[in-house]
Amino acid sequence: MQVKVLSLRQPFAEWVVSGKKTIELRSWNTKFRGKFFIHASGKHKTLPTGVIVGSVELVDVKKYENEKEFFKDKNKHYVDSWFLPDFAKRPFKYGFVLKNAKRIKPITAKGKLGFWNYEI
């Protein structure tokens, strides 16, 4: 059976599976809705990487039309204003709205860009 997976750099993967980060920012939209796994990618000294760390449900996608809307959700996506000096040049136009985050026992896997399938 295949399941969808999305790779996130640490510490963002940790924040998603802990339920702290409830919007994942992306430059692309998706029609997909439902449960998927979170893969922790990148390099981090204290958090696991190269593993699937949990699952979450994608319930909606927000399209950010302006800076005011974007920063209204700062406590959900955790991107500070210093990171986006010019909103018009930002790479993140979409916010994947997440619910029901759960941590799982880590599963070693190599990440990929976008949603990808993992055979369980």
Task: Classify burial at 77, counting beta carbons within 10 Å of its beta carbon; exposed 0-12, middle 13-18, buried 19 or more.
Answer: buried
Q: Is residue 102 classed as helix, strand or coil in its secondary structure?
A: strand
Give the pTM: 0.87
**What residue ranges define each of the domains in the chain, with the CATH number in brackets?**
2-119 (2.30.130.30)
pLDDT tens digit at each of 120 positions of the chain: 899 999 999 999 999 999 999 999 888 899 999 999 999 998 899 999 999 999 999 999 999 888 788 889 999 998 865 344 455 555 678 999 999 999 999 999 999 989 999 988
Name residue 23's beta-bridge partners: 97
